């Protein structure tokens, strides 16, 4: 064999091997990296029109990704929405329909669904899910699991790097659940958000104490954004970014009146931004309606599994990822059971992405939420700004409206969320919207029946069971 022929054979072999390796790599199922914020109202993020927070890492990430403009959790509480995300089932179905409750023992989740497909499935940071057999994630160190620690523990990316690179031949699914911007708002630099310069959203009463709290909350959003950047840098350094589907979500709304612990849009609407280089079009937006329950079946489909093997409430939106113009579901649903955050106050809702219908099942009651109005163990107010709302309402009609909106609610409400994103104008008695009201009423009835949801009776049962065990539920 001549030298020229030898070099040709080596070159042909190298090219062929490279093509084969490339084919194998392209056929490999993708990795999954899910980054969760904690209690972050989606509309406070600049990528969703937020006018205050600075999030350079998320802004850059969104330009590489598909941004979902109509993504929702089913319950604006930490444990119910995370149980939904990991199990693919709505709160009443999986059993975690109250905060600090637990899913049914027979519930299965991402570790059960992805491990048989060859995945390592890990969770770093906040857990807030139980029982353990229903959510058997590998525990990954490096990020604080305590969302109320003051201050948050210093984080490290060493363990997530080890998890990502432990076996490059085995795909991974890693959740990094951050604890910002959950209260207490103590991380980040609030001086970067001068209180007098803030543009408060209209569902917040404009008091000095509120401005101070909102400034500290915005600082935590920026702190959270910096962690997102660090996590994405680790992924890039492992040289696996091109074969990794990255999802960022903001969880439910922040701990302000009208967000967390409500069924208004600011509570249930979540950020969802998805990147997969070369597969998902970059810098695009979609109006497809999706819920947290849809994420697990989507990952299973992308991993090559059979979605029908699992008892999902959600459905895969994998096709929407590559074709953003495709619709997904017609409706998204929500539930609120106030126990143990206060006296029973059950709420149900449905949205078609344009209108939201809310049904308050005990409208004769006053809505009370302990974190807003109650005291901490040291005798200090959890949220001192609420007292200023009450005081300010005496002389300011707009603040009075906000206080009454929060505490005393009608049996039904209909909002044109597309033009009224903070849902301040109830259209339930407007005859021009009678047709959509009737449609959403029927759809909510259908969903509650499908879920086996008895409504107010479920909350009352929870209170009675807690009392029987000698544990006051709130």
What percent of the chain has a predicted confidence (pLDDT) above 70? 90
Q: Is residue 135 part of a domain?
A: yes
pLDDT band for position 179 (50/70/90)? Answer: very high
| 176 φ/ψ angles, rounded to the nearest 5 degrees | -115, 105
pLDDT in the model for residue 18: 33
Residue with tokens 């106030």: 338
- Give the per-residue pLDDT at 21: 31
Range of the domain at 450: 335-468
List Cβ neighbours of 154 (8 Å cut-off, separation of 6 or more): none
Q: Region 420-446: what's the mean pLDDT?
A: 98
Mean pLDDT value across residues 368-394: 74
**Residues 93-100, mean pLDDT to the nearest whole number:** 90
On average, the pLDDT of the chain sits at 91
Q: Which pLDDT score is estimated for 382?
A: 63
Q: Is the pLDDT of residue 11 over 90?
A: no
How much is the average pLDDT of 214-240? 98
- The answer to which of 24-33, 125-134, 322-331, 370-379 has the lowest mean pLDDT is 370-379
473 falls within a domain: no
Number of domains in the chain: 2
At 117, the pLDDT band (50, 70, 90 cuts) reads very high
Residues 131, 162 contacting (CB under 8 angstroms): no
- Residue 3 has what pLDDT? 43
Residue 4 belongs to some domain of the structure? no
User: Residue 356 contacts by C-beta under 8 Å, 6 or more apart in sequence?
Assistant: 264, 265, 349, 350, 413, 414, 415, 417, 423
* Of residues 316 and 21, more confidently modeled: 316
| pLDDT tens by residue, 24-63 | 345 789 999 999 999 999 999 999 999 999 999 999 999 9
Shared-domain flag, residues 169 and 299:
yes
> What per-residue confidence (pLDDT) applies to 469?
59
Flag whether 17 is in a domain: no
CATH number at residue 298: 3.40.720.10
348 and 424 belong to one structural domain: yes
Residue 188 lies in a domain: yes
Mean pLDDT of 93-121: 95
The last residue of one of the domains, among 294, 329, 364, is 329
Position 465 scores a pLDDT of 67
Check whether residue 210 and residue 352 sit in a common domain.
no
Nearest to 73 by CA among 96, 55, 51: 96
Question: What is residue 460's predicted lDDT score, i.e. its pLDDT?
Answer: 75
| Whole-angstrom Cα Rg for the chain | 24
Residue 464 is predicted with a pLDDT of 67
Do 196 and 90 belong together in one domain? yes
CA atoms within 13 A on the CB side of 82: 27
Q: Check residue 339 and give its pLDDT.
A: 84
Q: Are the beta carbons of 243 and 168 closer than 8 angstroms?
A: no
Residue 87 has pLDDT above 80, yes or no: yes
Q: Would residue 445 count as lying in a domain?
A: yes
């Amino acid at each position: 064999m001549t030298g020229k022929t030898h070099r040709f054979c080596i070159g042909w072999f190298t090219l062929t091997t490279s093509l084969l390796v490339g084919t194998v790599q392209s056929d490999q199922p993708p990795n999954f990296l899910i980054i969760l914020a904690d209690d972050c109202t989606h509309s406070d993020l600049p990528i969703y029109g937020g006018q205050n927070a600075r999030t350079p890492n998320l802004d850059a990430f969104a330009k590489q990704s598909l941004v979902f403009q109509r993504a929702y959790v089913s319950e604006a509480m930490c444990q119910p929405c995370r149980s939904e995300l990991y199990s693919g089932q709505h709160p009443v179905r999986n059993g975690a329909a109250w905060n600090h409750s637990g899913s049914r023992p027979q519930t299965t989740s991402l570790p059960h669904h992805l491990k048989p497909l060859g995945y390592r499935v890990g969770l770093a940071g906040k857990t807030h899910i139980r029982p353990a057999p229903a959510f058997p994630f590998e525990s990954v160190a490096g990020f604080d699991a305590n969302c109320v620690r003051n201050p948050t523990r210093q984080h490290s990316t060493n363990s997530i790097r080890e998890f990502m690179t432990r076996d490059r031949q085995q795909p991974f699914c890693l959740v990094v659940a951050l604890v910002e911007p959950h209260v207490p708002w103590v991380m980040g630099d609030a001086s970067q958000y001068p209180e007098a310069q803030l543009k408060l959203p209209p569902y917040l009463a404009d008091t000095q104490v509120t401005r101070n709290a909102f400034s500290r909350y915005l600082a935590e959003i920026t702190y959270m954004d910096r962690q997102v950047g660090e996590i994405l840098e680790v992924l890039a350094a492992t040289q696996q970014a091109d074969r990794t589907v990255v999802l960022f979500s903001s969880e439910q709304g922040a701990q302000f009146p009208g967000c967390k612990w409500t069924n208004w849009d600011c509570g249930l609407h979540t950020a969802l931004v998805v990147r997969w280089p070369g597969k998902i079009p970059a810098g695009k937006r979609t109006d497809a309606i999706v819920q947290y329950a849809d994420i697990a079946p989507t990952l299973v489909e992308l991993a090559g599994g059979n979605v029908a093997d699992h008892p999902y409430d959600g459905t895969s939106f994998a096709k929407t990822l590559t074709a953003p113009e495709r619709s997904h579901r017609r409706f998204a649903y929500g539930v609120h059971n106030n126990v143990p955050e206060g006296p029973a106050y059950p709420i149900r809702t449905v949205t078609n992405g344009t209108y939201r219908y809310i049904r308050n099942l005990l409208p004769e009651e006053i809505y009370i939420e302990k974190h807003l109005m109650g005291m901490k163990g040291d005798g200090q107010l959890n949220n001192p700004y609420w007292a200023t709302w009450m005081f300010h309402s005496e002389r300011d009609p707009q603040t009075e409206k906000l206080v009454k909106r929060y505490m005393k609610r009608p049996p039904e409400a209909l909002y044109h969320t597309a033009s009224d994103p903070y849902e301040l104008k109830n259209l339930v008695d407007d005859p021009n919207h009678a047709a959509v009201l009737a449609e959403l009423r029927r759809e909510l009835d259908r969903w509650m029946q499908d879920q086996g949801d008895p409504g107010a009776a479920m909350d009352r049962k929870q209170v009675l069971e807690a009392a029987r065990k000698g544990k006051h539920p709130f």
